[in-house]
Each structure stands twice: as C-alpha cells, then as structure tokens.
Amino acid sequence: MTNPSNHAENHQDDGHGHDHPGMLADAELSYYARRARAMESLLVEKEICTPGEIQAMVERIDARSPADGARVVARAWADPQYQARLLSTPEAALAELGYTLPETTPKLAVVENTAEVHHLVVCTLCSCYPRNLLGRPPDWYKSLAYRSRAVVDPRGVLREFGLDLPDSVAVRVLDSTADLRYLVLPRRPAGTEGLTEAELAELVTRDSMIGVTEARTPERAGV
C-alpha cells in the first residue's frame, strides 16, 4: 500500500487508489479527473499539502454562497451611510460585516444600479467573479456564449434572462479581470419600506448581483 492520498472517506465512488476492488469506478472518472487524482496523490506524498488541507478548502469554498452578498446588499439598502461606504471603500465596508478581501489583488468594486444606469458584469477572458460573496460562479457565467455576447448585445442577453430594460436606462457592461472584480448593488424594489434587513436579503439573488436580473419583489420572494 503506497497510495499516500487516501481520503476515500470523502469519496464514495471515485475509485480512489488501492482501496477499491477494481477498475469499475475508475472507468467512470474522466481522463482529467484521473489526472487530477494523480497530481493530488503526488502533492500529498511530497508533503506539499495534506488531504486535510484540501478537504478543509473544499468545505470553505462550499460554505460561500450568494447569501453572503445578499446580506451585504440588504445592509446597504437598509442603511444609506453603509451604502455610501460600500460604494466608496468596499474593503472597509465588507470588513464591518466580517468579510475580508485579499490585501493584494483582486480588488473589488461595488457598482450601483439605478433608474438611469444598469450594470452588467462579465469576465470575457475567463471567470473572474467575487467568489467570497457569491460562491462559485454559475456555469453560464463561464460559458463561451455569455462571455461573447454580453459585451456586444447586453440588452439581448438581459432579455434572455427576462429583463427588458427601456431605452431610457443606460446599460454599462463591466469586464472583470484577475485584478478587479465587481459586485452589483441591485435597485431596492418598491414597496419594501417595512421589511427587516433579513427580509430584504431574501429579495437579493445571485443573478441580481451580477446584473443579469433585478432583485425580486416581495411578492415573488414570498416575503
């Protein structure tokens, strides 16, 4: 038994190494999945990292979700002074709520959607995205079609997502980079004056923080 990366407890069916009876599970893993397994096994054997570190990171990444970004947006809606800080100094404003951004890059910019201007975020080169506030990006965000079309036909893309903006609203497309990512502060829906911050957060969807949709109305969210 020389397989050093024995973390089969995390993988029920990955055919991981020598603990499994045969090739059946292996055959279900794609070439790249098996390539990744070989690299992980070597990284662990060479003590570059441990299976525990990798598993802990999986769990850390899994724990992030759009609920984090929604909490920030709801605070901004509820507190105009917080909103001003979020737009002008996002790092400090996020730290107030316990979200720390890297000291170097990527930086985060928060952009406000209004009755006059609608922002839409894309990463035409790859998948830059504020993962610490929104979780992992959805498949479509990384898709070749979204990356191609968002910058040349943003209104068409928005219509595809169900948002038909009048010509009076300017559309600004922001292209993320590895150094600068964006969070959209969606417009606060009408008729939400009496809602608590937690109820407001229920209206804030992942897609509204990318700018492909608006926040949900209380009726739609069932708040």
DSSP state of 104: S
- Is 123 among the residues known to form the active site? yes
DSSP state of 33: H
d(CA 118, CA 123): 17
Of the residues 49, 65, 88, 126, only one is catalytic, namely 126
Of the residues 123, 143, 168, 176, only one is catalytic, namely 123
d(CA 183, CA 211): 9
Measured from the CB atom, is 156 or 191 closer to another protein?
Answer: 156
The binding site for another protein (CB under 8 A) comprises 3, 10-11, 14, 17-18, 20-23, 26, 29-30, 32-43, 46, 48-49, 53-55, 57-58, 60-62, 105-106, 122, 124-128, 136, 138-140, 142-152, 157, 160-161, 175, 178
Measured from the CB atom, is 159 or 220 closer to another protein?
Answer: 159
CB of 190 to another protein, least distance (A): 27
**Cα–Cα nearest to 67, from 185, 162, 198, 187:** 198
**Cα–Cα nearest to 55, from 40, 68, 45:** 40
Residue 172 bridge partners (DSSP) = 119
Measured from the CB atom, is 82 or 140 closer to another protein?
Answer: 140
Q: Give the distance, in angstroms, between the CA of residue 170 and the centroid of all CA atoms in the same chain.
A: 25
CB of 25 to another protein, least distance (A): 11
CB of 99 to another protein, least distance (A): 17
CB of 183 to another protein, least distance (A): 18
**Pairing of β 117-122 and β 170-175:** parallel
SS3 64: coil
DSSP H or E run through 35? helix 31-45
Tokens found for residue 87 = 């737009």
DSSP H or E run through 40? helix 31-45
- Is 49 among the residues known to form the active site? no
Instruction: Map tokens 């990955």 to a residue.
Output: 14
Measured from the CB atom, is 192 or 213 closer to another protein?
Answer: 213
Of the residues 65, 88, 127, 143, only one is catalytic, namely 127
Measured from the CB atom, is 36 or 95 closer to another protein?
Answer: 36
CB of 141 to another protein, least distance (A): 9
Q: Which residues are catalytic?
A: 123, 126-128
